[in-house]
Amino acid sequence: MPFVMRGDDGSVVAISLVQKDGFNEELPEGSEELTAFRNIGVSTGGLDETDKDFVRVLEDVVELLIDKGIILFTELPQSAQDKIMRRQRLRSELGERLNLIGDD
């Protein structure tokens, strides 16, 4: 758990992973105060909330383009190929674990 330093008003003004001078209070990871401190000055306009969904859409678009022969998988940069293959493998493994009904 991180240690925090508080300002005169009692709000968190600094975080440390180790206890040292001025960092005397421990807060549990994920506490509202830590989250608020870490998000100071961060304004994404809600974009981060849609990132995961949008990544899935892009993944489906790339797969569709490959299936229709519009692009070749091998035309993608190697790093993109590696990432796509890793996600496909993870989704396949996850799908197998979530098969609660079975083949009956």
Q: Write the CB contacts of 5 (distance below 8 Å, at least 6 apart in sequence).
A: 12, 13, 14, 15, 16, 22, 23
Query: Alpha-carbon distance 29 to 53, whole Å?
Result: 26
Domain that holds residue 76: 47-97
Domain count, the chain: 2
The lowest-confidence range among 21-25, 67-71, 93-97, 100-104 is 100-104
Spatial distance between the Cα atoms of 72 and 66, rounded to a whole number of angstroms: 6
- Whether pLDDT at 101 is above 70: no
Looking at the structure, do residues 29 and 57 belong to the same domain, yes or no? Answer: no
Tens digits of per-residue pLDDT, 42-84? 655 667 778 888 888 999 999 999 999 999 999 999 999 999 9
CB 14 within 8 A of CB 23: yes
Give the pLDDT band (50/70/90) at residue 100.
low
Please check whether residues 21 and 53 belong to one and the same domain: no
